[in-house]
Structure 1
Amino acid sequence: MNILYLHQYFNTPSMPGSTRSYEFAKRLVARGDTVHMVTTNWQGKSKLSFTNESGINVYWAPIPYANKMNFLRRIWAYLGYVWFTFIIGHKLNYDLIIASSTPLTIAIPALWLKRAKRAKMIFEVRDLWPQLPIAIGALKSPIMIKIAQFLEKKAYAGSEKVIALSIGMNSVLKERVPSNKISVVTNLSDRKNFKVSDQKGINFRKNYPGISNHPLIVYTGVFGRVNGVIYLVEIAKEIQKINPNVRFLLTGDGFEKEKIKKQSIKYNLLNKILFMERYLPKNEMPDLLSAATITTSFFIDLPEMGHNSANKFFDGLAAGKPIMINYGGWQADLLKESGAGFIIPQNNSSQAAKILNDVLTNDETLNQMKKASRQLSHQFDVNTNFQKFETVIDSA
């Protein structure tokens, strides 16, 4: 099969961020398919406009993107990618289009090329758009909201199959899409690559003399407005009152990075209790998480965020680490049922610090959570989820 795979934020393992599209496309190539990935050089990591990555033909548009961009610059990046996809898509031959959203604007070239090339189309929903941008106030114009809602309906109606990345997303999509068109294929736990020796974690800790052998709480990923990572700074401040041995490491980038840094300096935590690092490539994440005592996933207080399928959650499972989150939804239910982690209050840093400390000071609890986390990761293994993905593709 010849496949046109559209994903604006495609990454290889040598780049920071999700490698879901890479892992799936690589496996499609391995089974004999030809895959054309149309993406953007959004991180500036590729020096070429075309590369072959593990057999995947990758077309890189010279369009930057960053979480810290304002609304207009983001729209410009979205539309630039749409135009680039039109150009590349018309030159290639394919039987199937896989369009991975966000952003929702990816549906524009996907629907056009589906008709022009008489191809089938699968629409993958990574986040609920436009519901999420509306909820956080990023999309306010009534006209823009109407346009986005119209595009959403067209994307679902024009697709042979729709893939949701979580059970929560699936429940929302069922109100808009016939249930026989929807399949759930969550994000991935790369159990093979994240199973590393403890020595890797020990070596990683040596990069930070202030961490040493202290309990280490790790956050990896985006410092966006929706993530609310500054809450970890408040927790770090509070936990020092009851357990000054605890350390925090925040790796990533985004709109609120400077705000987080300034707050850490204000509380006299930075480079003493709390450390900040660049956005690490995916292939460096196993060593980092090996060093962690507990991994985290955070969001601001929005009910819509309970439907998320954050990569950091699944990486934590793959590494066999207890996971601390501050939101409800299907992931919270999983942690409660499996014992692979725990939930802290949304906006109560002193209570959150107490709960965290209770876990950290109980070796039996920590060990049970580690085992449960590793066990739960089987459910989201890369190969297991690819089989689900493959089934959807072959039935389109």
Structure 2
Amino acid sequence: MRILYLHQHYSGPGGATATRSHAMARALTAAGHSVTIACGQYAGAVTGLAGPFRHGRREGVVRGVKLVEFAIPCGNHQGFARRTAAFGRFAAAASRLALAEPWDLVVASSTPLTVAIPALVAHRLRGTPFLFEIRDPWPELPRAMKAAPALALAAMEPLATAACRRAAGVVALSEGMAETALARGADPARVRVVPNGCDLDLFGPHIAPWRPPGAAMWEVLAVYAGAHGRANGLDQLLDAAALLQRQGERRLRLLLVGEGSEKPRLQQAAVARGLANVTFLDSLPKQRLAALLAGAQVGVQCLAPVPEFAEWTAPNKLMDYLAAGLPVVANLSGRAARLLAEGHRDSPCGIATPPGDAAALAHALTWMADNPALRGRMGAAGRAQAVRRWDRRLLAADFVHAAEHAVGLVPAAEASLVAA
């Protein structure tokens, strides 16, 4: 079948951001389907296309997948108004593309939620079925974070409900996200959980290690690799670093890798507080990040202390840490905490601390420095869990089944449900 895959924030493997859509599109292509991805220009993303934009777009084929890239920059560094405008522009451009050809299926991957608009337009005007993928539940998550004006949240409500009810299939990244779709009236028989997975070839103990300049060979490197925005709550890491420094802990170095609206303020705060044990790095292409994780000793997962994050988030970075064989320190409850506690064969693969508790974070990091042998067992348990449960190739096959089920190519009994 001919599939239009809408993901405004798409990136190929050469970028510094998530590549889930790339993997799912490749899996759909390998299953015999023709896939066209439509995207914008997301900060940190690399589509693989080169050359000038003509009439606001450029296109080509990269690794067997056709890409249509619109000249619509977007990123967390932008303010709310600019990002909202970018969302609207992409929705308009993607709607024209969705109506331009006779697609058999539209995949609408949110966030942003506005990606559902072209899917709904094609469904209404052409009868095209669509698969709605929920990466973050909107407006539930922005409301919980108080990150959007009341008027914007009110506008999202009918759009989210329509997307869930009219979709031929809904794919959610966690069971908590799936529950938000069901609460909006999605057909339970058409809702499937396909979590984020691990790229076991890109990340792992087989990768040659790299440590950035200035990191002493004797230091335990604890890496946070991800967005530096409000939702990430990275002040907690600075607070933990300050506690470690006051305690005279000299073995640990926190590496904060990535970009985002909060990064300049965080850098200034680290300098003002004299935090010699914190290093900021720019976003790294995935291959370079894999080398950094291979040279590090701990992966750090951090989010703001928002209760809804417990079940409504599925961080890519956590999957990267597990694939790399790193023990994890996370300040999360819920799904991530359960995952770390389960580990593999009675060995946990990390430590979950209470959200918002910088002292507990500092204590967990100190434990990692104190216990290199147990730290190694945790990392091995994380890699084993990644191989057993989170191999992205297996999860991509479930995504393909969900897409084929949405158009009736496979019966419901054959469309597998993956528990998060």
Same fold (TM over 0.5): yes
Counterparts of 1:242-261 in structure 2, within 5 Å, are 242-261=248-267
User: C-alpha distance in 2, partners of 1:140/1:9?
Assistant: 22
User: C-alpha distance in 2, partners of 1:118/1:213?
Assistant: 62
User: C-alpha distance in 1, partners of 2:223/2:285?
Assistant: 15
SS in 1 for 2:283: coil
Give the count of matched residue pairs.
389
- Of 40, 46, 55, 2:64 maps to 55
Counterpart in the other structure of 1:149: 157
Counterpart in the other structure of 1:181: 190
Counterparts of 1:1-396 in structure 2, within 5 Å, are 1-43=1-43, 45=46, 46-48=49-51, 49-141=58-150, 143-176=151-184, 177-197=186-206, 200-201=208-209, 204-205=210-211, 207-240=212-245, 241-269=247-275, 272-306=276-310, 307-338=312-343, 339-378=348-387, 379-396=389-406
Moved more, 44-53 or 309-318: 44-53
Question: Which letter maps to 1:328?
Answer: S
SS in 1 for 2:149: coil
Question: Which letter maps to 1:336?
Answer: A
CA contact (8 A) 1:211 1:247 kept: no
User: C-alpha distance in 1, partners of 2:174/2:386?
Assistant: 15
Deviation of 1:89 (Å) = 2.1
Question: Which letter maps to 2:253?
Answer: R
5+ residue gaps in structure 2? 52-57, 407-420
Deviation of 1:370 (Å) = 1.0
Deviation of 1:169 (Å) = 1.4
Deviation of 1:211 (Å) = 3.3
Deviation of 1:196 (Å) = 4.5
CA contact (8 A) 1:95 1:119 kept: yes
CA contact (8 A) 1:210 1:273 kept: no
User: C-alpha distance in 2, partners of 1:337/1:42?
Assistant: 35
User: C-alpha distance in 1, partners of 2:161/2:378?
Assistant: 41
Deviation of 1:29 (Å) = 1.4
Alignment RMSD (CA, Å): 1.6
Deviation of 1:138 (Å) = 2.1
SS in 2 for 1:127: coil
User: C-alpha distance in 2, partners of 1:59/1:390?
Assistant: 21
Deviation readout 1:313-360 (Å, 9 max, x if unpaired):
111111111111112111111111221111123233233212221232
CA contact (8 A) 2:331 2:357 kept: no
SS in 1 for 2:396: helix
Deviation of 1:259 (Å) = 1.3
Normalised by the length of structure 2, the TM-score is: 0.89
SS in 2 for 1:217: strand
CA contact (8 A) 2:105 2:130 kept: yes
CA contact (8 A) 1:227 1:299 kept: yes
CA contact (8 A) 2:241 2:254 kept: yes
5+ residue gaps in structure 1? none
Deviation readout 1:268-319 (Å, 9 max, x if unpaired):
22xx421111111223221111111110111111111112011001111111
Deviation of 1:232 (Å) = 1.1
Deviation of 1:167 (Å) = 1.9
Normalised by the length of structure 1, the TM-score is: 0.94
SS in 2 for 1:226: helix
CA contact (8 A) 2:204 2:383 kept: no
Deviation of 1:242 (Å) = 4.2
User: C-alpha distance in 2, partners of 1:166/1:258?
Assistant: 32
Deviation readout 1:122-154 (Å, 9 max, x if unpaired):
00000010011112122232x433321111110
CA contact (8 A) 1:223 1:253 kept: yes
SS in 2 for 1:41: strand
